[in-house]
């Protein structure tokens, strides 16, 4: 597959993902509001450095009212095409940006700057559980004392198998995501079935507490999409 084909596939998937955001099917609007409040609290005394793991096009940053509270933004993503969009969104915002292509679980270990906020939305669930645990430890080590890790993601219920989760999630999509065309639905469901490996919520909470994070549960809007606020 040539590079033009890869970019075209990305554009198709990203167009579909923007529909999810526009219709708030995964509660991006509420999560952005909560993140805004956290950024304001962290930046009372000084501007902050942000690390975004699985940053995609970084559109959530562009939509923040508190842009003047950000000193620097580092975004990591596997997709060069996504980072091209991120550059377009971030360039006009007036703070230092650093966009890196690669696996977040690898590149985070190369970061030398201290971060006051590490953020990841709907990316960690693509990793195997043992890699998730290692990543959480690396995140803890890259946070300054008093810093916050925001984890927005999908999770399985206690003792729920991956197969049952996938069946339930796609059934929920069919009932709620009514604005999607059949092509969009097919793209998303195929991605979920192939790549999604969400961890059980109770296990994630146990992992992060054992690492040393202080856990605050974010607003629990439904049974699938959650926000964990983890402080060091």
Contact 196, 125 (CB under 8 A): yes
Question: Domain holding 185: CATH number?
Answer: 3.40.50.150
Helices 3-22, 80-90: inter-axial angle, 10-degree rounding: 60
Helix (DSSP H) and strand (DSSP E) numbers for the chain: 9, 7
34 — pLDDT class (breaks 50, 70, 90): very high
21 exposure class (CB count in 10 Å sphere: 0-12, 13-18, 19+): middle
36 Cβ contact list (under 8 Å, min separation 6): 64, 65, 66
Cα(166)–Cα(99) distance, integer angstroms: 32
The answer on pLDDT for 6 being more than 50 is no
- What confidence tens digit (pLDDT) does each residue in 169-226 have? 999 999 999 998 998 899 889 989 999 999 999 999 999 999 999 998 766 778 899 9
Helix (H, G, I), strand (E, B) or coil at 24: coil
pLDDT of residue 12: 64
The answer on pLDDT for 10 being more than 80 is no
73 — pLDDT class (breaks 50, 70, 90): very high
User: What pTM was computed for the model?
Assistant: 0.92
pLDDT of residue 3: 40
pLDDT of residue 144: 97
72 Cβ contact list (under 8 Å, min separation 6): 49, 50, 95, 96, 97, 98, 113
Q: Two tokens at 100?
A: 């890196």
What mean pLDDT comes out for the span 53-76?
93
- What confidence tens digit (pLDDT) does each residue in 99-157 have? 999 999 999 999 988 999 999 999 999 999 999 999 999 999 999 999 999 999 999 99
Q: Total structural domains in the chain?
A: 1
Report in angstroms the alpha-carbon separations of 24 from 28, 31, 178. Answer: 6, 10, 12
CB atoms within 10 A of CB 144: 15
pLDDT of residue 146: 96
Helix (H, G, I), strand (E, B) or coil at 103: coil
What is the domain extent for residue 139? 3-231
15 — pLDDT class (breaks 50, 70, 90): confident
Cα(201)–Cα(140) distance, integer angstroms: 19
Cα(61)–Cα(71) distance, integer angstroms: 13
The answer on pLDDT for 7 being more than 80 is no
Cα(143)–Cα(164) distance, integer angstroms: 35
């Amino acid at each position: 597959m040539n590079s033009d084909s890869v970019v075209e596939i990305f554009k198709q998937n990203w167009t579909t993902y923007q529909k999810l955001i526009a219709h708030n099917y995964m509660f991006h609007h509420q999560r952005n509001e909560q993140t805004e409040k956290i950024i304001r609290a962290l930046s009372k005394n000084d501007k902050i450095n942000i690390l975004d793991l699985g940053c995609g096009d970084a559109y959530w940053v562009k939509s923040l009212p508190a842009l003047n509270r950000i000193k620097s933004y580092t975004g990591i993503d596997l997709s060069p095409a996504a980072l091209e969009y991120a550059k377009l969104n971030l360039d006009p915002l007036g703070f230092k940006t650093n966009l890196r292509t690669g696996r977040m679980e690898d590149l985070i270990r190369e970061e030398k700057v201290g971060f006051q906020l590490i953020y990841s939305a709907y990316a960690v669930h693509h990793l195997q559980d043992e890699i998730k645990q290692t990543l959480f430890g690396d995140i803890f080590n890259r946070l300054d004392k008093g810093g916050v890790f925001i984890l927005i993601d999908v999770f399985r219920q206690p003792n729920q198998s991956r197969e049952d989760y996938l069946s339930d999630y796609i059934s929920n999509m069919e009932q709620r995501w009514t604005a999607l065309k059949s092509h969009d639905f097919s793209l998303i469901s195929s991605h979920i079935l192939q790549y999604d490996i969400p961890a059980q919520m109770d296990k994630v909470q146990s992992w992060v507490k054992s690492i040393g994070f202080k856990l605050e549960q974010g607003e629990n809007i439904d049974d699938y999409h959650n926000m964990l606020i983890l402080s060091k």
